[in-house]
Structure 1
Amino acid sequence: MYRERSSSLSGAVLWTNTPSEAGLGRVLPDGCMDLLWHEGRLWVAGPDTRAYVAESSAGIWAGIRFYPGTAPALLGVPAHELRDRRVELVDLRPLSEVRRFTALVNAAGDPESGLEKLALGMAADKEPPDPLLRHLVTALDAGRPVAAVADELGFGVRQLHRRALTAFGYGPKTLGRVLRLQRALKLARRGVPFAETAALAGFADQAHLARDVRELAGLPLGELLG
């Protein structure tokens, strides 16, 4: 069973997942990074450029999904170093610090609350997220062209690409593509016909939607929704 709720940390989402049976789990790219807890250990899920498919492990998984572009500053590692990867937090931060973080989460009433407390503590020691990055996400999610957004932010396209690699793990064109996929999935899950979904989400046509879903999610749209 999967459930989620909004976090007190701006833009973040808390979630738990308890697989009902063993099998392959599929996590779709969404532009985000997650801090994960499982069986008393902390992990980081990097930004995905394609569906992440792995054997489901028994027991409860909990996580906090950070707003796109905000996790690297909290974790102290550029997003592109974690692209398409899942790594233990101890591989990224000092052992003594990770032990303290893990003890905090394990001592909480539930791992969700512990992860939220940990993330809020991390954020308190850092500068606020760059508002330009949030503007970039909002503009791309609205379907704006990358060049137009770069001009609006006062960056050259190459400069924007470098900043995006650090914050999101890939360039703004890939981020825009991932956000478009998520827009399409929200529409399709509400029962909007595929042709209308393609138009509303910003695809050239239904065939374009089908290609992107296969490439990014690894399954046809109908099978994915099923």
Structure 2
Amino acid sequence: MYRERPSRLAGAVVWARTMEAGVARPVLPDGCMDLLWRDGELFVAGPDTHAYVPYAAAGVRYAGVRFAPGAGPAAIGVPAHELRDRRVALDALWPGAEVRRLAERVGEAPDPAAALEAVALARAEEPDPRMRAVVALLDEGRSVTATAEAVGLGTRSLHRRSLDAFGYGPKALARVLRLQRALGLVQDGMPYAEAALAAGCADQAHLAREMRELAGTTLTAYAEAAKSETSTPSGSWSVA
């Protein structure tokens, strides 16, 4: 079962997951970094360029804070491209004694996700406002050139800064954001063809290709996997 809620940290999401038997729902590229707790361990998930399938025994508990695109590096203290497509133990990035203390605190908390959120809030710094603008502009469907001009950067400078903030260049980020837009529309019940056009794809076939290349699966298979992890919401949590 997977649950999530908005974080007190701007643009972030707090989530919790208990692994169930069977194939897990893939985690798709989203331009984000996550601070994670898994049954006593703290680690970081870097930005993905392709789908990642978390394999763990049934009953294993996870909690996470998914930073807004571009916000993770300031909190974690590592450029995003250094963690691209990686899951790294937090004690490889922060002092081991501090990580052990934090892991114990999160593990003993009644709500590990809330305790992990407190760790993220204590470390968070304000991300570069130009990188926030880059996300917003690309998510609107602006071209890389138009985005660079709008934020006052050359295309090479934008690419370099994007690697540090998001883990990949602005063109790749635009593809990821477009796919996420399309999936959100599909999950809201919009037909695939309409969702493709609304998200900025040329047609449904274009969206299907992006889904295969970035997610390694089909829209139908992903939607079915998402449904398999739903349950009745509780409190302020929502189920995705």
TM bucket (normalised to shorter chain) is over 0.9
Cα distance in 1 for partners of 2:112, 2:150 equals 41
Q: Retained in 1: the 8 A contact 2:211–2:218?
A: yes
Which residue does 1:78 correspond to in 2? 79
Q: Retained in 2: the 8 A contact 1:25–1:56?
A: no
Cα distance in 1 for partners of 2:150, 2:24 equals 42
Query: How far 1:22 sits from its partner (Å)?
Result: 4.5
SS in 1 for 2:57: coil
Q: Retained in 2: the 8 A contact 1:15–1:64?
A: yes
1:179 equivalent in alignment to 2:149: no
Cα distance in 1 for partners of 2:94, 2:218 equals 39
Which residue does 2:148 correspond to in 1? 150
Higher relative contact order, structure no. (Cα contacts within 8 Å, ≥ 6 residues apart): 2
What root-mean-square deviation, in Å, do the aligned CA atoms of Structure 1 and Structure 2 show?
1.3
Which residue does 2:136 correspond to in 1? 138
1:27-66 correspondence to structure 2 within 5 Å: 27-58=27-58, 59-66=60-67
Query: How far 1:110 sits from its partner (Å)?
Result: 1.5
Cα distance in 2 for partners of 1:35, 1:17 equals 14
Which residue does 2:69 correspond to in 1? 68
Query: How far 1:30 sits from its partner (Å)?
Result: 1.1
1:1-226 correspondence to structure 2 within 5 Å: 1-58=1-58, 59-123=60-124, 126=125, 128-226=126-224
Unmatched segments (≥5 aa) in structure 2 = 225-240
Query: How far 1:188 sits from its partner (Å)?
Result: 1.2
4+ residue segments displaced more than 3 Å: 22-25
Unmatched segments (≥5 aa) in structure 1 = none
Q: Retained in 2: the 8 A contact 1:104–1:118?
A: no
How many aligned positions are there? 223
SS in 2 for 1:54: coil
Query: How far 1:107 sits from its partner (Å)?
Result: 3.5
1:72-123 CA deviation, whole Å, 9 max, x = no partner?
Answer: 1111111001111111101111212212322332342211111111111112
Q: How high is the sequence identity, in percent, across the aligned residues?
A: 58
* TM-score for the superposition, normalised by structure 2: 0.89
Cα distance in 2 for partners of 1:104, 1:122 equals 16
Cα distance in 2 for partners of 1:57, 1:114 equals 23
Q: Retained in 1: the 8 A contact 2:39–2:107?
A: no
SS in 2 for 1:16: strand
SS in 1 for 2:198: helix
1:180-203 CA deviation, whole Å, 9 max, x = no partner?
Answer: 000000111222121111110000
